[in-house]
A = this chain, B = another copy of it.
């Protein structure tokens, strides 16, 4: 089954990004496809390549980048939300791409299920 995922909150402040990541990992393990993860609202902050969490904590951004690389997952950051919050090509982490809201709608059309993680 093809899943589309929406993440509405940034890393660390809320659990939304953690839950979304663990959901994606489990979906892949169960043999499903993750069609796209769309980062909206403060969710765009998950794409900052400048984050440096403490050594003893998880690295949320790097974890997404790795998942994208290993499983060819499409991580899309909403351009309008990203501009509002200061995420641009110059601070974008590997594996993410910036695009329009149409990518969210397309995910809704193409995916069998949409699951939203937020606050």
Contacts and interface: CB of A to CB of B under 8 A. Distances in A.
B51 A10 contact: no
Copies of this protein, total: 2
A48 B90 CA distance: 13
Contacts of A57: 84
A50 interface: yes
B85 A10 contact: yes
Interface in A1-31: 10-13
Contacts of A90: 50
Contact of A91 (B41, B50, B52): B50
A83 interface: yes
Nearest to A93: B86
